A = this chain, B = another copy of it.
Amino acid sequence: MTFDPASLNYDAHGLIPAIAQDHATGEVLMLAWMNAESLAETLRTGQVTYWSRSRKELWAKGATSGHVQRLVELRLDCDRDCLLLRVDQTGPACHTNRRSCFYTAVREGEEIEVLKPMA
């Protein structure tokens, strides 16, 4: 079946959550949001573009930092209301310079930093 971005279930704001996962290691890097336009741009260019909810504009990941995400494979979930982006991540995915945004673990009720910023 030909994929139609309009067939996805966007929320009331026209957005859908997108999980970025390192295609080689399986590491979950970040979660951000897409609208139909950013998804189309991602598929057209092969580089991940999100929708910035704070700036209310297209956000070509890594456009200024160089920390781009090359889309290796797009996956949809069963309800078509979430995307999984299997990516080739250049450098850190997180604005804190860490490989992944999920660098805080909760262990025995305490927050523990489990990833350091990249050199």
C-alpha gap A43/B107 in the complex (Å)? 10
This protein's copies in its complex: 2
A residues contacting the other copy or chain, number (CB 8 A): 37
User: Chain B contacts of A94 at CB under 8 A?
Assistant: 78
Minimum CB–CB distance for A91 against chain B, Å: 15
Does A57 interact with chain B (Cβ within 8 Å)? no
Minimum CB–CB distance for A67 against chain B, Å: 14
The answer to whether A107 and B75 touch across the interface, beta carbons within 8 angstroms, is no
**Can you name 4 extra interface pairs (CB under 8 A) apart from A17-B31, A84-B102?**
A2-B109, A2-B111, A77-B101, A78-B96
The answer to whether B78 and A101 touch across the interface, beta carbons within 8 angstroms, is yes
